[in-house]
Amino acid sequence: MRNLACECRIKVVQLVFVLTVRLLIINAFLSGLRNYLFLNSFQEVYTMKIAIVCYPTFGGSGVVATELGLELARRGHEIHFITYSQPVRLALLNPNVHYHEVNVPEYPLFHYQPYELALSSKLVDMVKLYKIELMHVHYAIPHAYAGYMAKQILKEEGIEIPMVTTLHGTDITLVGNHPYYKPAVTFSINKSDIVTSVSKSLRNETLKLFNITNDIEVIPNFIELNKNIDDSSIPCYRSVIAKENERVITHISNFRKVKRIPDVIKIFYEIQQQIPAKLMMVGDGPEKEKAERLCFDLGIHEKVIFFGNSNEIDRILSYSDLFLLPSETESFGLAALEAMALSVPVISSNSGGLPEVNFDGISGYLSEVGDIQDMAKNAIKILKDDATLNEFKSNALATAKQFDIQNILPIYEELYLRAISIYA
């Protein structure tokens, strides 16, 4: 009966999501049809020249922006990444993908070098040189602000270009809400032609914290499900990490305070007392050293492996049994979605956008922030036997499929066409 009830719940969730996505795509087609005709595109697909501005680091916003650009390039669009260093997941093998580095000259006069000015100037130069039709800036600070400056400079030269701003989380909830930045963030969002948010939770938080006059459209983060991983090597790699009877538990983050890294260690401490297990900590940041000391204090340092930053995220997740994400808040929870896409169930807090990704009792479990005992109890519930674990693994993958990039990309393409038509 329990299995039947669980199957019914996930089928209902899948049906609701699929219907929602189909409605969005139908609406995208109807509202975008006029734009296709107006733009004189009688081809099967109207290809666009798009500038993507993002942080090039391991953080979620940079990963999403990079994966979005690469997939757009595969569909024939010309994509220009403009940032201060090459994004970590950017492959330049596609002729439609271009990378332009923003150089910031150092002058003794400036205590802090003016990156926003350098970025604005670079955007202006690249738009004129490559005839770019649209700017998509990820993260409000400083990209939306720099994008607006570039728009105004181009306007003086008779070039009108739309700007789409995507809000990702800490640019709003942590940095953007600081009194020193709040007026600039509010201005930048309101001056964007189209604003998107990666979750309903983040949209609601933005509207609560800022005086926003623009509409904010929700387009969830996505995952590329059709990745090639060499399955034959997984047992070999796993045997290096853990014994056959040990469960592999993983956490991936930037090790900031908001991720509640000590909670990850303490949850694992409770788990390993009842189930043989190993913990893999992937990433780097200010809380890493404290986490390493805590492992020694609890006497579990031999059961915990700290990897640092890695480009082998998919391989690490492919031999994981459970993912821990007890964050104080998450605007979406991309790390959780990446885990679920590789059939790894998730134990997470119920904060921010996480309930929009991790479905309680289906793809994993949700708990109150800081409730270590409840998270540990739920983790043990999943890991206790192979049948239960395999059921949650299957459910996690089924949930992740709803966020496949092939479902989300058409929504972005329609949005871009709508933005371009503003100035056409």
Residues ≥6 apart with Cβ < 8 Å to 182: 176, 209, 210
CA angle in degrees (0–180, nearest 5) for 172-175-181:
95
pLDDT at 235: 56
Give pLDDT, residue 139. Answer: 86
Cα–Cα dist 233/255, whole Å: 29
Tokens of 252: 């991936």
pLDDT value at position 232? 53
Beta-strand runs (E) in 179-330? 194-197, 216-218, 247-252, 277-282, 304-308, 322-325
Residue 40's pLDDT is what?
Answer: 44
Question: Count of alpha carbons within 13 Å of 382, Cβ hemisphere only?
Answer: 32
Provide CB contacts within 8 A for 391, sequence distance 6+. 3, 6
Is 319 buried (19+), middle (13-18) or exposed (0-12) by CB count in 10 A? buried
To the nearest 10°, report the CA torsion of 392, 393, 399, 405.
Answer: 170
For the stretch 298-329, pLDDT in tens is 999 999 999 988 888 888 999 999 999 999 99
Report the length, in residues, of the chain: 424
Q: What does the pLDDT read at residue 397?
A: 96
Q: Using CA atoms, how far apart are residues 53 and 83, in angstroms rounded to an integer?
A: 6
pLDDT at site 175: 65
Residue found under tokens 């922006």? 65
Count H helices, E strands: the chain? 15, 13
Using CA atoms, how far apart are residues 378 and 361, in angstroms rounded to an integer? Answer: 9
What is the pLDDT, as a whole number, of residue 43? Answer: 40
User: What single letter denotes the amino acid at residue 241?
Assistant: I
CA–CA separation, 222 and 372 (whole Å): 29
- CA–CA dist 267, 254 (Å, integer): 18
Distance of alpha carbon 68 from alpha carbon 79, whole angstroms? 10
For the chain, how big is the Rg over CA atoms in Å? 22
- What are the per-10-residue average pLDDT scores of the chain (424 residues)? 56 54 49 45 70 83 89 96 85 86 86 88 98 95 93 97 92 72 90 96 93 96 75 64 92 94 98 97 95 97 93 90 96 94 97 96 98 98 96 97 94 96 91
β-bridge partners, 194? 164
